[in-house]
Structure 1
Amino acid sequence: MGDVAINGVVMSILASRLPGLVFALLLGLAGLGLATLPAFSHLQLSALTLAIVLGMLLGNLVGERLPRRLAPGIAYAQRSLLRAGVVLYGLRISFQQIAAIGPGALVLDLAIVASTLGLGVWIGRRWLGLDRDTALLTACGSAICGAAAVLATERLLKPEPSKVAIAVASVVLFGTLNIFLYPYLQAHLALSPGSFGVYTGATVHEVAQVVAIGNAIGPDTTDTAVIVKLTRVLLLVPFLFLLGGWQARQGGARGAISIPWFALAFVGACALNSLITLPAALRERLLDLDTLLLATAMAALGLETRFARLRALGPKPLVLALFLFGWLSIGGYWLTRWLVG
């Protein structure tokens, strides 16, 4: 009876997620198909960019009229498929490539994370009068890894759900703008493809957005950007431990520390790629699967980026996210020039 009950629960979970997963998958496949058309390839619009645009268009046109039964699968695609795609992306990268980037990129990541967190909390609290949780959630989402950092920090702070929604919506909005801004910047900034990859990885909010930008520019930029970005994601671990320790000293520890295991699994995939040569056909299929997973996750993310929701959140969190967006884009560029060259 125990096995039957467990199987029943598993099948129920799968059935609840399947409609939304299929819906997001179809949008991801549409993005892949559109990316092969000459008009879009000429504009350097990658499958990931097109997938999130399709999701945003549909989400804002149809809005709340989307069937509620799609929600569990869409949320699963945003979280789990994105992380699976990031893990598989490790098969594109080796430790030899990581070593070739140099210590300057690590110092840049540390500088970006520390400065963005400090500015976000200070401006949010002192200038905008935001509460601690909203300011901290928005700052960590901008500084480290977007919505993933917000959700990881939420487990520790245990804030009101509306504050989490504000932070996620703001970092998703400005992180999505990066997908369109950075390929334009690449043509006008005095950075080599490798240095621009460092700049992208150190300053763009979400991992999937970094991959989308890199794919729109070139493989050298993509590989470097993802390595730098995942190094930045790994900084979530010490941040959470420091935050948890600070809360404990303040007598306010309210939750367990969340470790980004998908980033550690990415490192494991890099290690596998560094030590073992996979058969070419198998590696190609895995990388195709990786692209499809990321496109599906981007489509799901676009479906939840609705302008009506953003207007309802109030202006101050968006002002903070806008300031941090400007700091990452402009300040991050000068830090990249100074620390990396």
Structure 2
Amino acid sequence: MLKKSPSSGPSPSRIRVRLAPLMPGALLVAAGVAGAMGVHAVVPGAGTLVVALVLGAVLANAGLVPGRARPGLKAAAKTPMRAGIVLLGLGLSLPDVLALGGPVLLVVAGGLVATFGATVAMGRVLGIGPERRMLIAAGVSVCGASAVAAANDAVGGDDDDVAAAVALVTVFGTIAIPVLPALAAGFGLGPDLTGMWVGASVHEVGQVAAAAGAVGGTALAAAVVVKLTRVVLLAPLMVVLGVWRRRRADVGADGGDEKGRQTVRRPPLVPLFVVGFLAAAALGGTGWLPEGVLVVGGVLQTVLLSAGLFAMGTGVHLPTLAKSGARPLALGAAASAFIAAVTLGGLTAVA
């Protein structure tokens, strides 16, 4: 009598059983992303990622998120977000970054490190929790909502922490759009220096484009290259945050038993999606990819990041967020002013 060979993988029926609980949440996320992209199409100044987060929060706090959607929302807050961050690397041009020259690169990197450290220190003085102040620091010093989402994978903040950080980089990055070009004109800065300053200090890529584009094409080109340099530095920042969380786990800050033994899984030192981000950046910098592929990758990146942020938004509890008071707002303002000041000083010195 012949024996049936063991199955080489899960059967289609088993896959359907596993995916079925995720479908209500997945459909809700798809609708949320479509809504966010629709709002952005009508109001270009409204960033798709921020709108997605806000839509998720509004639906959740209006009681419009059914319980059966929760498993799918939980899954969407992780995998699509990481895939979107990987695709973020395709838009980087490492040769263009290196063409800035050592002094400018040093100012950009130094400004990022100084801003992150100063923001964390100021947040500690203000009594803001470690997760929230680190997410605010990542958003201000690197690249806005994308950096907040990426950093949260290592930091482990809750949805309210993410919402607070995204809100702050949105508010103060938007304020910078008219303010920085006006200040640059008052200081007598040329278009190249203005563009580099905008790229080194404004939070979101879209905000950078809006601020520098108002000055002119030369400023816009310089701003985008400098901004992408900050995006490249997201990878080493993730490694640093991974080390920080592993050390917290080692001393039991993330939970342990009564004898102090660790009871939770330690996070990886270098998350796999960070490796993917670097690989995508290396591939994008070769110039081998057709323009059409890069365009599709950019759209897909926006969709995936929006999906993750919408899912995170549905976990936001607005009354809890409101209780945080004015301290995070003060931290966002101080951090935004700090990075603008330190990068302007550095760029003026090396220009």
TM-score by length of 1: 0.73
Q: Which moved more, 1:44-53 or 1:328-337?
A: 44-53
User: Do structure 1's residue 329 and structure 2's residue 332 form an aligned pair?
Assistant: no
How has the CA–CA distance of structure 1 residues 10 and 199 changed in structure 2, closer, same or farther, with 3 Å as cutoff? farther
1:275 equivalent in structure 2: 286
Q: Give 1:289 deviation, angstroms.
A: 1.8
**Which residue does the alignment assign to 1:31?**
36
AA in 1 matched with 2:120: L
CA distance in 2, matches of 1:223, 1:53: 29
Which amino acid letter does the alignment assign opposite residue 336 of structure 1? T
Give the corresponding residue for 2:238. Answer: 236
> C-alpha distance in 2, partners of 1:246/1:47?
34
Asked whether the 8 Å contact 2:91–2:294 carries over to 1, the reply is no
1:256 pairs with 2:257: no
Q: Which residue of 1 aligns with 2:52?
A: 51
| CA deviation vs aligned residue, 1:218-264 (integer Å, no higher than 9, x gap) | 67545643430441452231344256458758997845243343233
1:174 aligns to 2:168 (yes or no): yes
Equivalent residue number for residue 305 of structure 2 = 294
Q: How far apart are 1:186 and its partner, in Å?
A: 4.4
Distance in 1 separating the partners of 2:183 and 2:30: 35
- Paired with 1:20 and 1:179, the residues of 2 have a C-alpha distance of 31
The DSSP-based 3-state class of the residue aligned with 1:256 is coil
Q: Which amino acid aligns with 1:82?
A: M
Helix, strand or coil: the match of 2:99?
helix
What displacement does 1:173 show?
3.7
Evaluate the alpha carbon distance shift between residue 80 and residue 180 of structure 1 in structure 2; reply closer, same or farther with a 3 A threshold.
Answer: farther
Q: How many Å apart are 1:70 and its aligned residue?
A: 2.0
User: Does 2:207 correspond to 1:213?
Assistant: yes
Distance 2:261 2:123 in 1: 21
Counterpart of 1:88? 87
Q: 1:275 to 1:322 in 2, by over 3 A?
A: same
What TM-score do the two structures reach when normalised by structure 2? Answer: 0.72
Q: In the TM superposition, what is the alpha-carbon distance from 1:334 to its structure 2 partner? A: 0.6
Deviation of 1:283 after TM superposition, in Å, equals: 3.1
1:158 equivalent in structure 2: none
For residue 139 of structure 1, what is the amino acid of its counterpart?
Answer: R
Measure how far apart 1:278 and its partner are: 1.7
Q: Partner of 1:340: helix, strand, or coil?
A: helix
Deviation for aligned residue 1:66? 1.3
Report the Cα offset of residue 215 of structure 1: 6.0
Answer whether contact 2:32 2:55 (CA < 8 A) is retained.
Answer: yes
Is the CA contact (8 Å cut-off) linking 1:197 and 1:214 kept in structure 2?
yes
Would you say the 8 A contact 2:198–2:208 is kept in 1? Answer: no
1:24-58 per-position Cα deviation (integer Å, ceiling 9, x unaligned): 22222233233333xx24xx334334434444443
Amino acid at match of 1:19: P
1:1-341 equivalences under 5 Å are 10-37=15-42, 40-41=43-44, 44-60=45-61, 62=62, 64-101=63-100, 102-121=105-124, 123-124=125-126, 128=127, 135-144=129-138, 145-146=147-148, 148-154=150-156, 164=158, 167-178=161-172, 180-190=174-184, 192-200=194-202, 204=203, 210-214=204-208, 220=221, 221=223, 224-241=226-243, 244-245=246-247, 254=262, 256-258=266-268, 259-311=270-322, 314-315=323-324, 318-341=325-348
Instruction: Give the drift of 1:6.
Output: 7.5
Report the structure, 1 or 2, having the larger helix content. Answer: 1
Helix, strand or coil: the match of 2:266? coil
RMSD value, Cα? 3.4
Match of 2:189 in 1: none
**Contact 1:49 1:179 (8 Å CA) reproduced:** no
Name the residue aligned to 1:131.
none
Q: 1:265 to 1:182 in 2, by over 3 A?
A: farther
Letter of the 2:71 partner, please give it: P
Shift of 1:119: 2.7
Aligned-partner Cα distance in 2 for 1:142–1:253:
31
Contact kept, 8 Å, 1:247 with 1:253, in 2: the verdict is no
Q: Secondary structure at the match of 1:235?
A: helix
- SS, match of residue 279 in structure 2: helix
